[in-house]
Amino acid sequence: MTNLNGDNITAAMIQLNTAEKKLWLKQPDGILYLRKENQPIQSLKISSRDLFWDDKQQTMLLQGGVKINQDDALVLSTNKEIVLSQALMNGKKTLRSILSPEHTYVSYVDMKKGDTHKIYCPGPFSINNETREMRMQGAVQTAGETNGNGQVYIDDVLGEMFADTVYIYYQWLEQKISPEKVVLDGSVRLINRFDGHMEESGSVLHHALADRVEFFPLKNEMVVTSQGENRVLLIDKVNNVQMSAPTLNVKYDPATKKESIQGLGDVRFTFIEEELSKIKRQFPSAEKKGKESKGAKQRKQ
């Protein structure tokens, strides 16, 4: 199946409703091309169990074993469903948004650093291609509370991150993703394993608890904050330091491969009993995970 846009899809079965301008494809596998004025043509490779296309609404519903690959820079997969919304601009098809209701796996390559980031989003996931914003939410229970085990999970060279909601603001440069700001909001947990040396990263260096984290990848800066009576709690295992503060500013210098942590406000370097108990509850096996992660990397090599 092809069109004037250059799209090409093969399927085990294709049904066409000419009156309603709808399509149903069984086991589709193909490629779509996205065109926008003064920008390079982007490709979208898609495959799933079923594909439903509504030409009037310009929406494509993919169900079952869904995989979407955008220029080998962004990969989405889910066993549930994903909806693609397109728009026609000057006769050219562009991607407006991508929506997934639950259980979405995301992988993207940071153009500036070449790092691969893997994300699991148990709740709603969306991409607004016009505002260039990704939004990921945890699995919400009754009364609007998020299950601690159903948080958004990020795994990359820096370590592991958990949060109720994650926002990624990005740009497309040379058909690659360039994140400008990453926000983690709600019951944030951080496990840092990166010491500036890719080949040696593995053991846990820091644990941190916070309400909100704003990360600026281009500046290598992170602002970690708490709200109300809560405090940011940090354990620095390298220097054997505890830190409790309303706000922490973290900066990493790629030249010296050193990290600086500055506490703002009422800073303490020892935990009270309640804070220590909270850390132990949230990171019961952090050191064990760090060792396992390092061993897993060595086995892969």
Q: Give the range of the structural domain holding residue 124, as residue numbers without chain letter.
A: 102-301
Does pTM top 0.95 for this prediction?
no
Do residues 179 and 226 both lie within one domain? yes
Task: Please tell me which residue, 273 or 149, carries the higher pLDDT value.
Answer: 273
| Residue ending a domain, choose from 50, 81, 97 | 97
**What average pLDDT score do residues 202-210 get?**
81
**Same domain assignment for residues 93 and 109:** no
Confidence of residue 297 (pLDDT cuts 50, 70, 90): very low
Q: Are residues 88 and 151 in the same domain?
A: no
Q: 199 and 229: one domain?
A: yes
Domain boundary among 97, 121, 143: 97
Amino acid at 62: L
Q: What is the pLDDT of residues 73-127, one digit of tens each?
A: 899 999 999 999 988 776 677 889 999 999 999 998 876 667 788 999 999 999 9
